[in-house]
Each structure stands twice: as structure tokens, then as C-alpha cells.
Structure 1
Amino acid sequence: MTLKNRQKEIVAKLSDRELLLNFYITQLLILLIGLILARFLFGNWFYPFSLFDWYDRKIITIGAGVAFLVVSLDLLFMKFLPKSLYDDGGINERLFSNRKGWQIILMTLLVAFGEELLFRGILQMAFGLVVASLIFAFVHYRYLFRPFLFLNVVILSFVIGIIFHLTENLAVTVSMHFFIDCTLGFIIASKNNKKRC
């Protein structure tokens, strides 16, 4: 059995509650790893928090603007490319289906905050854009066996990394990451609601 099929089989066996528990534990681990690395690499547990400027207009002009472009391209690709290219083993569908709006917002906010804190605020600041972007892509290991999705993650990782390099503001990349994931989460949820009707 290939690793790809094994992963799909494991996910299929998880109950909804177990899947959500794994999701939240993973997000808390990412945040914890980020804080520990901040302590060792920068001497301060809370170093990445100094990289946030919530009053920066670039949150809307760049963060939301690029997020809109990314989501638009994704929807365009989904419309014209074979559905099999976007098959992630049903994980995203399982995560976002049957969720209330506030749950989708909370889940995608946790992902955006934790991942940007770790990958941009710590790894990119310590090791540079290329290393942080590649680690980000490989951490999304479930896409490794799906070349189109993996390429998407690699490109998106570099785009987010470049935006952080240009703006030097984690609020911009967290907002962008959140807008992308949250919008796609609501789209997945609404598609599944239509299927049930």
C-alpha cells in the first residue's frame, strides 16, 4: 500500500471529533514550536509578536488584495481543470463540511496565525525566504503525492514569503493567509450544503 493510500485510509477511519482534535493539536504544536524556536533563535519567547503592525494599510491593499487574486485563480482552475487535480484525499472537505461560520473562522484564523508566526516570523527571519518557504511546503506533506496541489503550496509559500520580505509585517501575511483559507473553507462548506439539498 502506498503512503498516499495509507494516509487516505487513516483519515477515512477518523471520526469527525478525532479529525478536529488532531487539527487543533497540530495547530497548538505549530504555535508551541514557534515560541520555543523564538526563544532559542532570538532569545525571546515573544519575538515574532514585535513583527505585527495592525494599523498598516497594506493589510487591506496587499494582504486582502493578493488573497482575492489567489482565491480567484484557485476558483478559475477548479472550474476548468479536472477535479482529480484538486483531490487532497477529502481532508479539507471533511474539515470544513458541517461547520458553522464561526468554526470556519476560528479554524482558519488559528492556521494563519500559527503558520505565519512560525514560518515567516521565525524561520524566514532566522534562515531566509527560501528555507522557510520550502519547509512550509514540506510541512504540508499530504500534498507531496499530489503534484498540482504541492506546486500550488510551493508557489503560495514563496508569494507569502516575498510579501513578508517586502512589508516586514506579519499582520499582512496572517491576514492574507486567513482570507485565503477562510474563503476557501466557506466555499467547501457551501458546496457540501448544496449537495445535501
Structure 2
Amino acid sequence: MKVNALLLLLIAILAIGALVVSFVALNRAQSARELALSEIIVEEANSMSTPVYHEETNKYGYLTLYDISIANMSGPALKLDRVAKTTSGVGFLSLLKGPDLVNAQVNAKAFISEKGSAAIKNEPRLLKSIGLEDMGDAVEVGMTIAPGETKVIHLGLTLEPYTADMRAVANMALVSFELLFDNGKSYIFQRGFPIYPLQQ
């Protein structure tokens, strides 16, 4: 009798264990399915592009800044893990003069700004304090976006497109960032912007 009782107890424990494992597996599968179904909408909310004079070097640089809205339309919560410089296609930065690519090397820095374009337009002195450090090939963000929520990230670029005689080496640039999310999805944000000539 004792043997039968122990056997029944062992069978019951194994059954409960199997049930727990099945529940965990089902829960993980459901979470994975929900993540896969998340709908992300990425849009340009605002932007600015302008020459910037640097007193310390007596040279002009150029700054462009994008306010990018990211909406989590369907849930569950997702996280923007990082932003990277795009390496596919024409790459992160291309310069053009008319329809032609320009084979010129210019100093360029990509960055994430705490300030958006509206704040900088209202307070131009901020131009001196943003875009000083390059983010490298990629930068960690860790921004969580709840279901139904929209958040904004400010991505920018500074470059030196002017020669010593203050002529622009190109009149257009194409910049490309990749936004990588924790559900395995990614989005390429690619924009062209004019490089304005300097007033001489």
C-alpha cells in the first residue's frame, strides 16, 4: 500500500510539474506573439537645418536635427533599445551636388539631443551646446513606450561641409539612422537635407 501511495504521489508531482512547464511555455509563446504583433509607427514630427558659426575655430559648420515620434499603436509595451548609424545601402551619410554623389571626406558627428528643434529655434544659443560628441556606431537608448503611447527622440548630425573659402562641397546630404527595438523590429529613418550656401 505504501508503495502504491508513493507511486501515486510521484505521478501527481510529475503531472503538476508538467502542467507548470506547459503554462510557462504557453505564457512565453503568448508574450512572443504579442511582441511580434506590436505595431510601431515612426514619423518625422519636426526638423531644422542651419549653418553654425564656431568662434573658437573661426569656421562654419552645419547642423541638422530631427524630432522623431515613435508610436506604439497596438501594445504590449516595447523598448527602443538603441539607435545606430545605418551601414546598408549608401551608408550613414552621403553628400550630393545636384544628382551626383560627392567623393569628399567631411568631419561629421551623429548625436541624440535632449533638446528638440522647437526649443533650439526659440533659444538659438543652444546651437553651441549640442552635437559636441559623436554617438559612435550605435548608442543605447532604453526608452520604453507603453501601449497607445507616443514618445519623441531627437536625432541630429553636425558636419563641416564648407571649404576654407566658405564654399559648400555639396548642396544636399542624405543621412540614415536605424532604430532597433526589443521585439526584434527595426526601422530605418532616412532623410535628405539641403546644405545652404554661406552669405559672402
- TM-score normalized by the length of structure 1: 0.23
Greater relative CO, 1 or 2 (CA 8 Å, sep 6+): 1
- Give the structure with higher Rg (CA): 2
Which structure: greater strand fraction?
Answer: 2
- TM-score normalized by the length of structure 2: 0.23
